[in-house]
Chains A and B, each alone.
Chain A
Amino acid sequence: NAGVMQNPRHLVRRRGQEARLRCSPMKGHSHVYWYRQLPEEGLKFMVYLQKENIIDESGMPKERFSAEFPKEGPSILRIQQVVRGDSAAYFCASSPAGGRGGAFFGQGTRLTVV
């Protein structure tokens, strides 16, 4: 009875490297949200996807960030050429189609850029 699984839980990258964050939704869920949270701040929406389709990426920075949710496998949030300002907690949430019943969060990935 797995919930939303995110990995890794903690990720350390040097400036300029790439970070790949993975999210496996709950069984039966076809939609995924990604959020970023800086310390002592609120959740900031990044992107909303269904399998093989980006529904809303209005919160995604225009450069260096990309997200996908392939037909098979987890959703991936990719950050290229990371900078110190990318250090944050990244949360994934999944929901069934239609959103009724709400979305359920994973434990998050804490990214630290050194």
Chain B
Amino acid sequence: QKEVEQNSGPLSVPEGAIASLNCTYSDRGSQSFFWYRQYSGKSPELIMSIYSNGDKEDGRFTAQLNKASQYVSLLIRDSQPSDSATYLCAVTNNAGNMLTFGGGTRLMVKP
């Protein structure tokens, strides 16, 4: 299995701040990149996808991809306590037919 690495956290940010979540991957040929959110006791939910270098914005969320550095990140602006969850990065392999998940970063947004 190819490696997808995330800092396990917890990452603690105050309400209203920007939360920055990072992910690195080892398969240089990876094609598709995803962020999932998992609340405690629930199943992971797909929240963002990105396929080309640069930024992709969706509301308070911005995904950033740098294929040369093999790095993908998720920024959450104006963080809310309801954003407190574990965020999982997932990457497809070179053939584009299999997803590999990172271990997840636990985010805590404090009121």
A interface, CB within 8 angstroms of B: 31, 33, 35, 42-43, 45, 48, 55-56, 58-59, 91, 93, 95, 97-108
Contacts and interface: CB of A to CB of B under 8 A. Distances in A.
5 contacts: A45-B1, A45-B100, A99-B96, A100-B51, A107-B42
A108 B43 contact: yes
A104 B97 contact: no
Contacts of B101: 35, 42-43, 45
A99 B100 contact: no
Contacts of A45: 1, 100-101
Interface of B: 1, 8, 31-32, 34, 42-46, 49, 51, 86, 88, 90, 92, 96-104
Interface of B, secondary structure class, is: loop
B95 to A, nearest CB: 9
B44 A99 contact: no
Contact of A99 (B1, B92, B102): B92
B90 A102 contact: yes
A35 B99 CA distance: 12
A5 to B, nearest CB: 12
Nearest to B44: A105
A45 B100 CA distance: 8
B1 A91 contact: no
A48 B103 CA distance: 17
B110 to A, nearest CB: 19
B49 to A, nearest CB: 6
B32 A42 contact: no
Given A42-B104, A43-B104, A45-B1, A102 B43 contact: no
A99 B32 contact: yes
B88 A97 contact: no
A105 to B, nearest CB: 4
